[in-house]
Structure 1
Amino acid sequence: MTGPTGPAPATTEGGAPHANAPSATALEDALSVNAAPTTARAARERAAAASTATGGEGGAAGMSPASDTPGGVGTGPARDGRGGAATSPASGGPGGGGVDGVLAGVVAGRRVWLCDLDGTLVDSFPAHEAAFRQAVAEVVPAALPSFRYADHAGASTAEVAALLTGDREVAGRLARRKQELYRRFVEQGRVRPFPGARRLLGLLAGGGQVAYLVTSGSRGSVERVLTGSALGACFRDVLTADDVPVSKPDPAFYHLACRRWHVDPAEAVVLEDSPHGVASAVGAGLATLHVHTAEPASGAVAVRGLDEIVSLLEMM
């Protein structure tokens, strides 16, 4: 959703419900869990491969790069521009064959939903891209001709800034400027929920399921988006890039979320929109829905749009 993702030199502004940052011991434990088959580098390579396979996009729409995650509208697997894919396999019906049957099998019995924000629940890609391009033009203009925001979908602002500059001080200035511009765009109303987002979260609450937000965005940016979109009250808690010492696609991001909230991975399902986010969730052993796409990243189930999940839940 940047990715909000990995921590950036962002500040923490108030508003969204959240728990205290995890202790150093908890972070070490979470990171040690990730020592197993999937390393951050391996996850990143899988995400890059998945991105190439789907047309070079992160498949996200607003939440991706860096501290503020971008994700979904823009370029990538064919979209209708508002969260739906232009094409998709034929559907069966809940519990039957086809896409709906597969989707029903994934969500059935899952009491916890771990949701990305940018590009997943809100259409923030255009605002993230505009903010990044302007910041790059101001801080590191030489990097602008080759900068392609979609290549960084799902990563944190801080991570993208570091990759673009190779200099800690310059990266810090770039990340701060990008966040400043993005937050201004949010306050101007340029980031809105995708169709079906509010209905989906309402159905989960009404059905006794718990929704948590797991985003690569900085807390300051995430809180502004949640306030502006009126989605903040839908989540029991929020984990942002400012709370985690790693960035998607590292599985430690989701490992830490599960440990923090005492979530059994077998009882949870993840909503993600980018290969980076999918790699992080799948690497943590979580059932994952890759939304707003017809071509899912490895290990995930494709979902055309949030309305598809809404329709299924209403029939279950």
Structure 2
Amino acid sequence: MKAIVFDMDGILFDTERVSDQAWRQAAEEMQFADIEAAIEGCRGLNRADTRAFFESHFPNVDYLAFHQRNHEIMAELLADGMPVKPGAYALLDWLREQEWRVALATSTGRESTMHHLESAKMTDYFDQIITGEQVEHGKPDPEIYLKACQTLEAAPEQTFAVEDSPNGIQSAAAANLRVIMVPDLIRPNLELRQKVITVQSSLLEVKTFLEKFA
């Protein structure tokens, strides 16, 4: 059986830049600084871990108010539809034709995840969808990737993962998946390259790479 697990933000959707913009705008409105460190530190984390990070770094800021305003800004920025990464549909169509088992493992909450997938008409491409609140420990902990493999009934060491962020790559690598990096906002350094089996510049290149395993 051929199995693969995708991250969502930064891989299927070009939402990392939108999210960063929303965080910066919300922080500016609430008048607190040093948001860049939080943006990078929270990239790929689930909601619980994001809140813990945020509250440890900004103890005097109301996290729930920030989260709500951030959510509102994101909705405004994505009002015209989800920005789908080039090659996403071509790769997902090919995987379905080749009868791969496909899962999604995202730190994003289920409500937002399903909204994004439904907006992009991608829901039916996935046999399993694992979201941030379904695991106790978010990325970089391996739990979400181990859970994805379990639901696919696939051995981790025979399963591919497609990731873009350091936290996601660490998570998938720690779960012993075969990690493919498709860089988004963060370029691969030596440490990241040692955790992946290949770096591809786009999802179309991922398709070409996977064809040898078909």
Structure 2 equivalent of residue 289 of structure 1: 180
Shift of 1:203: 0.4
Q: Does 1:239 align with 2:130?
A: yes
Q: Does 1:154 align with 2:51?
A: no
- Work out which of the residue numbers 124, 143, 162 in structure 1 matches 2:15: 124
Give me the CA root mean square deviation.
2.5
Structure 1's consecutive aligned runs of 4 or more residues displaced over 6 angstroms after TM superposition are none
User: Residue 156 and residue 133 in structure 1: after superposition, are their counterparts in 2 closer, same or farther (change >3 A)?
Assistant: farther
Greater mean alpha carbon deviation, residues 278-287 or residues 255-264 = 255-264
* One-letter amino acid of the structure 2 residue matched with residue 225 of structure 1: H
* Cα distance between partner residues in 2 of 1:118 and 1:216: 9
- Work out which of the residue numbers 70, 84, 87 in structure 2 matches 1:178: 70
* One-letter amino acid of the structure 2 residue matched with residue 309 of structure 1: V
Task: Please show how residues 203-214 of structure 1 align to structure 2 within 5 Å.
Answer: 203-214=94-105
Greater mean alpha carbon deviation, residues 228-237 or residues 272-281 = 228-237
Q: Does 1:270 align with 2:166?
A: no
Q: Secondary structure at the match of 2:78?
A: helix
Report the identity percentage: 26
Shift of 1:160: 3.1
Q: Does 1:309 align with 2:210?
A: no
Structure 2 equivalent of residue 142 of structure 1: 32
Higher relative contact order (CA 8 A, sep 6+): 1
Shift of 1:299: 1.3
* Cα distance between partner residues in 2 of 1:234 and 1:168: 43
Q: TM-score, normalised by structure 2?
A: 0.83
* One-letter amino acid of the structure 1 residue matched with residue 102 of structure 2: A
* Cα distance between partner residues in 2 of 1:204 and 1:128: 28
Task: Please show how residues 80-95 of structure 1 align to structure 2 within 5 Å.
Answer: none
Q: Secondary structure at the match of 1:142?
A: coil
1:87-142 Cα offsets, whole Å, 9 max, x none, are xxxxxxxxxxxxxxxxxxxxxxx611100010011111221011112222344x22
* Cα distance between partner residues in 1 of 2:83 and 2:36: 28
CA contact (8 A) 1:203 1:313 kept: no
CA contact (8 A) 1:157 1:175 kept: no
Structure 2: runs of 5+ lacking an equivalent: none
CA contact (8 A) 1:162 1:171 kept: no
1:237-294 Cα offsets, whole Å, 9 max, x none, are 2111121121100112212222333321133110000110010000011111111356
More helix by share: 2
User: Residue 168 and residue 256 in structure 1: after superposition, are their counterparts in 2 closer, same or farther (change >3 A)?
Assistant: farther
